[in-house]
Amino acid sequence: MYNILRMLENPKRTALESIRAQVLSMDLQPGEVLDETSLASQLGISRTPLREIIQRLSGEGYLVLERNRGAKVAPMDFATMRHFFQAAPMIYAAMSRLAAEQAEPSDVAALKNIQVRYRASLVDDSVSATAMHNHQFHQRIGEMAQSPYLQPSLDRLLIDHTRIGQIFYRSTKEDDHDRIEKAADQHDGMIEAFEKRDPARAVQLTLEHWELSRQTIERYVRPDPLSFELEDVTHAV
C-alpha cells in the first residue's frame, strides 16, 4: 500500500514543483489566469489532483483563487509592491539575526554549497538559474532561523523577490554587472557572519543587500521615462 501511495504522490509532487517553478521564473505571468485543462495535460495529471495543488499553492501565495473565476497567478500590482517594500527589510533582517544566533556548521556548509551554484550560474549568465539559486540561498537562511512565525512571511516575500530577480540578474550594462558581483560578494559576507555567529554583522550585510535589490526593484516599479526632446514634441503639435 505504501509503494502505491508513493507512485500516486510522485506525479503530484512533480506537478506541484513545476507550477512553483513556472511562477517563479515568470513562465506563468503575474495575474495570468490558469487554464486548468491545458495545465493538467501539460503536467500529465487529472484535474482533481491539479485542483488540490492549486488550493495548496493558493495558501502558499503563488496563486490567487477568485470565486466563480478560477485561479490566477499572484499579481505584482502597485498594492502588492507597496506591501513588499514595507515588509522586506524587516523580515530579511529579523531572519538573518535569528539565523546568525543559531547557525550550525551544517547550515553554513549548505549555504556555501548554494553559493557555489549561485556563482556558477553567474558565470554561465543564466538569469533564471541565478534567480532560483538566490531564492534557495535566502530560503535556507529562513530555515536556519527556525521561526514558525516569520517563515510564512519570508516564503511569501521570496515569491515576488524571485520573480523580480529575473530582471535584477538580466545584465545589460556595465553597472548591472558590477551590481550583480556586489550582490554575490554580499552573500559571501553573510555566510562569514553566520559562520562566526555575528548577528550584528549579518543584519548589516542583509540590509545592504536589500538596498542593492531595492534600487533595481524601483526601476522595475517606476521605469525610466521615455527619452525625447521637448522641441520634437512642439514640432509634432
Look up the CATH number of the domain holding residue 59. 1.10.10.10
In a domain, 68, yes or no: yes
Q: Which residues pair with 63 in a beta bridge?
A: 73
Pairing of strands 63-66, 70-73: antiparallel
Residue 190 sits in the same domain as residue 217: yes
Q: Which three cell numbers stand for residue 90?
A: 524587516
In a domain, 237, yes or no: no
Band (pLDDT 50/70/90 cuts) for residue 229 is low
In a domain, 154, yes or no: yes
CB 63 within 8 A of CB 54: yes
Q: Find all residues with CB under 8 Å of 190, minimum gap 6, and list them.
A: 96, 141, 202, 205, 206, 209
Q: Which residue has the higher pLDDT, 219 or 98?
A: 98
> How many structural domains comprise the chain?
2
pLDDT value at residue 81: 85
**Residue 39 confidence (pLDDT) above 80:** yes
Band (pLDDT 50/70/90 cuts) for residue 1 is very low
Residue 65 sits in the same domain as residue 83: no
6-15, 192-201, 219-228 — most confident range: 192-201
Residue 106 sits in the same domain as residue 211: yes
Q: Which domain holds residue 47?
A: 2-73
pLDDT value at residue 177: 82
Band (pLDDT 50/70/90 cuts) for residue 167 is confident
Distance between first and last Cα of the chain = 77
In a domain, 228, yes or no: no
Q: Which residue has the higher pLDDT, 85 or 192?
A: 192
Residue 69 sits in the same domain as residue 83: no
Report the percentage of the chain scoring pLDDT > 70.
86
CA angle 225, 229, 234 (to 5 degrees): 120
Band (pLDDT 50/70/90 cuts) for residue 218 is confident
Band (pLDDT 50/70/90 cuts) for residue 233 is very low
DSSP conformational letter for 171: -
Band (pLDDT 50/70/90 cuts) for residue 179 is confident
pLDDT value at residue 77: 85
CB 14 within 8 A of CB 48: no
pLDDT value at residue 4: 42
**Which residue has cell 534600487?**
215
**Poorest-pLDDT segment among 15-19, 60-64, 220-224:** 220-224
Residue 97 sits in the same domain as residue 47: no
In a domain, 15, yes or no: yes
In a domain, 147, yes or no: yes
Distances (CA, A) of 122 to 14, 37, 131, 181: 27, 37, 10, 9
Q: Is 198 helix (H, G, I), strand (E, B) or coil?
A: coil
In this structure, the dihedral spanned by the alpha carbons of residues 109, 111, 112 and 116, taken in order and rounded to 10 degrees, is 140
Distances (CA, A) of 232 to 162, 200, 223, 236: 40, 54, 22, 6
Dist. CA 141–CA 138, nearest whole Å: 5
DSSP for 44-92, written as a single string = T--HHHHHHHHHHHHHHTSEEEETTTEEEEPP--HHHHHHHHHHHHHHH
pLDDT value at residue 225: 54
